[in-house]
């Protein structure tokens, strides 16, 4: 059995990021341990990929970058919503103590 191609590994990473987005949308805490190392590893492999594969690899890398940007946006929105909810709850609690 052959090992997955770089393109396949990048596509798998993109799918994992999409799955993380779905989990975040459902309010699940998502761990990203190892993501930096995996991206670095795949980037290093991409640098030495054969010229014939580069356009496919580049397209897969661009998709991973898009997914990472979307995850970052989702986390920012969730963090903002959490802060707003906390402020509202705190304000409501303070009002009840007066």
pLDDT in tens, 14-63: 999 999 999 999 989 899 999 999 999 999 999 888 888 888 889 999 99
Q: CA-CA distance, 91 to 93, in Å (whole number)?
A: 5
What is the SS3 assignment for 6-43? HHHHHHHHHHHHHHHHHHHHCCCCCCCCCHHHHHHHHH
| Cα-based angle 53, 8, 66 (whole degrees, multiple of 5) | 90
Q: Which residue has the higher pLDDT, 11 or 79?
A: 11
The predicted pLDDT at position 64 comes to 93
Whole-prediction pTM? 0.74
Give helix then strand counts, H and E, for the chain.
3, 0
Check whether 96 has a pLDDT greater than 80: no
Q: Measured in whole angstroms, how far is the alpha carbon of residue 57 from the centre of its chain?
A: 19
């Amino acid at each position: 059995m052959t090992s997955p191609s770089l393109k396949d590994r990048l596509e798998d990473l993109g799918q994992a990021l999409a799955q993380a987005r779905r989990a975040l949308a459902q309010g699940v805490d998502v761990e990203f341990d190892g993501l930096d190392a995996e991206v670095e590893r795949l980037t290093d492999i991409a640098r030495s990929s054969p010229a014939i594969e580069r356009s496919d690899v580049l397209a897969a890398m661009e998709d991973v970058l898009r997914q990472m940007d979307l995850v970052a946006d989702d986390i920012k929105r969730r963090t903002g919503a959490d802060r707003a909810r906390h402020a509202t709850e705190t304000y409501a609690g303070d009002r009840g103590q007066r």
